Structure 1
Amino acid sequence: MRSRSPDIRTGSAGDGTPIDVERLFHSAGIVSGAFDRLDDGLRGRVEKLVSWVNGQVVMAGERKEEVELQLRKLLATRLRLAADRKRIPAIAEERIERPIFVIGFARTGTTLIHSLLAEDPRARAPLWWHTHDPSPPPGEVPVVPERIEYTGRELDRLVAQTPGLLTMHPYWDKRGHCLIEDEEIFTLDFQNAYPTLLYRMPALAMILDAGNAREAYGFHRQFLQHLQWNQEPKHWVVKGIYHQFVLEELFEAYPDALCIWPHRDPVEVHPSTMAITAVLYGAITNWQMDFRELGPAFVQGIAQSVAQAIESPFVDDPRILHVDFRELVRDPIAIVRKAYGRWGLDYGPEFEARMKAWLADPANAPDRYGRYRYTMEPYGLTREMIETAFEGYCRRFGLGKFA
């Protein structure tokens, strides 16, 4: 799946110079204290991302400094992770067993499922502070509240830059303890450019290249090992909106992975997806994007990727539990109970009680920052356009007019 970035200019031609990648390498080494030679793969990905950034916009002054600062922080974090792994060889010996992946498209209930699964006292999930300040490993030194609070301030800056975001995705108000998507983990290895780590970059995100998926999942495993080392044994529950496109690589990296894949009528999904995309990237690009033009191209691009994805033989793999969004909304706990029963996982009364408490807590209410009225018109979309684009997907999973 690829995302097309519009031609955006934040300044007049010639008033900014490109980001110097060699300077970035040098400064990140000083910041991290890690001066080992970068492996060729990582170096190449950093160079590719910087080249992509330089080709997207002409940046000058404060904006360029902000983007370069985020890139430097990201690279320094990656270098520290590598240094930790070299310094503590036992990290590489950690076994990641039967991780649960919540997969599927944005706005289909993936965050709800992920949040409930994370209430299992025998589970752990990646959090915002894990990707924003992962070194040293949490199993090496006590994690002080200040360390988590520091990362929470970074999320505060993202939310302040994107008014309206909490109305559509209120879960980010958990700050440093917010659950994250696996796309953030891929960004730590410069496999993509996810906006939660690079929200000052004035362009649409660069998406993970399917050709690099095996390498990306290799780093994903390393990152979970990093967080798990010297900690209480628990299974992982993770979430990503890209996994369904590369199921073969996912199961190659995690042969014992278990997946929950919710499905929702695309006519409901895409106005919501475009709205949150517009609020997020509109703010990042200072509202210089034409979302009426972007909407149809975005939908067609996703539809093509979906058509390819559902042709994969792994779609019917018994390790995947397919869930109808309408059933999820009616009784989300029943969905989790069904998944645990199918997979033979322990499902105890404490887990169910914690899920019920989470659902009843006003601090988790989906409308705690109000409700947003989703519509197609601002994004150049029509019902017919979406139904036509996703007809095969809807037939396959009994959605929309095929329900």
Structure 2
Amino acid sequence: MATAATSTSLKACPDADGLKELASRRTGLSDFGDPGRDTGLKVFSAALRDEVWSGMPDPARAQVVEYAVHLLATRLKLVDDRQRYPQIAQEKIVRPIIVIGPPRSGSTLLHTLLSLDPEAMAPEHWVCLEPSPPPALGPPSPERLDQAERRMMAMFDRIPDIFITHPYMIEEGAGALAECGSDILNMVFSCQQLWCLYRAENFRRYLLEADHSGAVGFHHDFLQHVQWGAAGGHWALKGSDYLLRLEATAAQYPDATLVWTHRDLAQQLGSLANIQAILCRAAGEPLAGDAREEVGRLAIEHQRASFEKGMRARDRLGEDRFLDISYHDVMASPVRTVERIYERSGRHMSDAHRAAIHDWLEQNPQTKHGVHKYSTDEFGLGAEATNRQFRDYVERFGFGYGLHPPLSA
């Protein structure tokens, strides 16, 4: 696969304008759409230059430049498609179900169960990686799917251990369900995954402090792009960083059902810290010892800050916008848990959907691809300290280290 690094020096980190120029050369296009959607790109490229670039080996530099240029090239194509086919902008996104819980809280499993509804639409990796031309113009060619598959796997070349924690990517490849953050909002550089991969602190602060309305507007445009020509249905969506942009999401989708997933923090945070230590290999070499522990601890603190931001937004939006779902309920009574979500969203759960869930669970037992092993001790996690650090969250929802409410499903 040709890379942007072949046309630019790896000595200096390209700035936002330089990356856009490379994307324009690749596509022959120049309209990136609303300039208000460039804020994340400017912050990310500056943070990459100032905090990360000097310590990156050349292969990591080449990979991040290629990734950024591809994201920007995809944006150019989406804007061009929207101008060519004005019908796209007429699509209405009605009553989506959005799973907003944090990473490792059972949100991927729940999203999968929701996506099994024959009436539901859920984005897959291939359409996020290669969305142009619009799917309404015809099914994707084998070449297009293969290109998406190769791009997806190339992204993980430097972090092969990710397949231990996300084994479905091996089996389903580019047909796996996509996330709103890491697979859609990455195109406007407003997703948590970019911080997880490259650990730029200024970018993390941007995620926690910025108004992400422009990015969420892009998300809406993307759903319109994919929905155009589809046979009805509702969106089933999921993103592990929605807590960073709850108010913008609620404003963009005022009729959405917002599903906040929760899990015993001993399980959720231990898994999260381990995955963070895996992901940051994208910027350099594998971590061990104190460096690995430090990365895990920062991931846990970032989760606390995300919870705080999400809870403040929830206070302003009102409790009636949210439905809390326990990971432990999903595991104990998956069909009844989905029924609760449908009841809240004013929908009827069909027999076909129930049957699809039963079939999927039978074919995909929890240990199908082995067990994700991690040690909470490795990251200094203990019940007393963790519950103190997450006190506001524990008191509000009843989930803590070694704590979760009784099963309700």
On whether the aligned pair clears a TM of 0.5, the verdict is yes
User: Are 1:167 and 1:367, in contact at CA under 8 Å, matched by a contact in 2?
Assistant: no
How far, CA to CA, are the matches of 1:212 and 1:275 in structure 2? 29
How far, CA to CA, are the matches of 2:90 and 2:81 in structure 1? 14
How far, CA to CA, are the matches of 1:38 and 1:105 in structure 2? 30
Letter in 2 for 1:114: H
* Structure-2 residue corresponding to 1:373: 373
The structure-2 alpha-carbon separation of the partners of 1:316 and 1:402, relative to structure 1 and needing over 3 Å to count, comes to: farther
* Structure-2 residue corresponding to 1:54: 49
How far, CA to CA, are the matches of 2:245 and 2:17 in structure 1? 33
* Structure-1 residue corresponding to 2:320: 318
* Structure-2 residue corresponding to 1:3: none
For 1:99, which of 96, 99, 108 is the aligned residue?
96
* Superposed displacement of residue 62, structure 1: 4.3
Matches within 5 A, 1:227-266: 227-266=226-265
1:281-334 per-position Cα deviation (integer Å, ceiling 9, x unaligned): 235421257122233333233223323432432575333221122211101111
Alpha-carbon RMSD: 2.5
How far, CA to CA, are the matches of 1:243 and 1:70 in structure 2? 22
Larger displacement relative to structure 2 (148-157 or 68-77): 148-157
Larger displacement relative to structure 2 (214-223 or 46-55): 46-55
* Structure-2 residue corresponding to 1:295: 296
* Superposed displacement of residue 223, structure 1: 0.5
Secondary structure of 2:117's aligned partner: coil
1:238-274 per-position Cα deviation (integer Å, ceiling 9, x unaligned): 0012223433222110010012222112122111101
Secondary structure of 2:137's aligned partner: coil
* Structure-2 residue corresponding to 1:384: 384
Matches within 5 A, 1:126-275: 126-173=123-170, 174-184=172-182, 185-192=184-191, 194-195=193-194, 202-203=198-199, 206-207=203-204, 208=207, 210-275=209-274
1:173-226 per-position Cα deviation (integer Å, ceiling 9, x unaligned): 21111111111211112224635xx99x65459453552321111111000001
* Superposed displacement of residue 371, structure 1: 1.1
The structure-2 alpha-carbon separation of the partners of 1:164 and 1:153, relative to structure 1 and needing over 3 Å to count, comes to: same
Matches within 5 A, 1:68-107: 68-107=65-104
User: Are 2:32 and 2:76, in contact at CA under 8 Å, matched by a contact in 1?
Assistant: no
Query: Which stretches in structure 1 are left out of the alignment for 5+ residues?
Result: 1-14
* Structure-2 residue corresponding to 1:4: none
Letter in 2 for 1:115: T
Aligned-pair identity (%)? 30
* Structure-2 residue corresponding to 1:393: 393
The structure-2 alpha-carbon separation of the partners of 1:22 and 1:299, relative to structure 1 and needing over 3 Å to count, comes to: closer
Letter in 2 for 1:27: L
Larger displacement relative to structure 2 (19-28 or 135-144): 19-28
User: Are 1:99 and 1:236, in contact at CA under 8 Å, matched by a contact in 2?
Assistant: yes
The structure-2 alpha-carbon separation of the partners of 1:181 and 1:36, relative to structure 1 and needing over 3 Å to count, comes to: closer
Secondary structure of 2:349's aligned partner: coil
User: Are 2:264 and 2:399, in contact at CA under 8 Å, matched by a contact in 1?
Assistant: yes
* Structure-2 residue corresponding to 1:332: 334
Letter in 1 for 2:227: Q
1:340-392 per-position Cα deviation (integer Å, ceiling 9, x unaligned): 1232212111111011111111xx33323311322123223333221111122
TM-score, structure 1 length as denominator?
A: 0.87
* Superposed displacement of residue 21, structure 1: 4.4
TM-score, structure 2 length as denominator?
A: 0.86
The structure-2 alpha-carbon separation of the partners of 1:339 and 1:48, relative to structure 1 and needing over 3 Å to count, comes to: closer
User: Are 1:131 and 1:188, in contact at CA under 8 Å, matched by a contact in 2?
Assistant: no
User: Are 2:179 and 2:240, in contact at CA under 8 Å, matched by a contact in 1?
Assistant: yes
1:41-75 per-position Cα deviation (integer Å, ceiling 9, x unaligned): 24554333222221122256444333222221111
How far, CA to CA, are the matches of 2:62 and 2:155 in structure 1? 17
* Structure-2 residue corresponding to 1:25: 20
The structure-2 alpha-carbon separation of the partners of 1:152 and 1:204, relative to structure 1 and needing over 3 Å to count, comes to: farther
User: Are 1:299 and 1:389, in contact at CA under 8 Å, matched by a contact in 2?
Assistant: no
User: Are 2:260 and 2:325, in contact at CA under 8 Å, matched by a contact in 1?
Assistant: yes
Larger displacement relative to structure 2 (324-333 or 137-146): 137-146
Letter in 2 for 1:253: Q
Letter in 2 for 1:89: P
User: Are 2:263 and 2:326, in contact at CA under 8 Å, matched by a contact in 1?
Assistant: yes
Secondary structure of 1:134's aligned partner: coil
* Structure-2 residue corresponding to 1:307: 308
The structure-2 alpha-carbon separation of the partners of 1:346 and 1:355, relative to structure 1 and needing over 3 Å to count, comes to: same
Query: Which stretches in structure 2 are left out of the alignment for 5+ residues?
Result: 1-9
The structure-2 alpha-carbon separation of the partners of 1:46 and 1:266, relative to structure 1 and needing over 3 Å to count, comes to: same
Larger displacement relative to structure 2 (293-302 or 129-138): 293-302
User: Are 2:247 and 2:317, in contact at CA under 8 Å, matched by a contact in 1?
Assistant: no
* Superposed displacement of residue 121, structure 1: 0.4
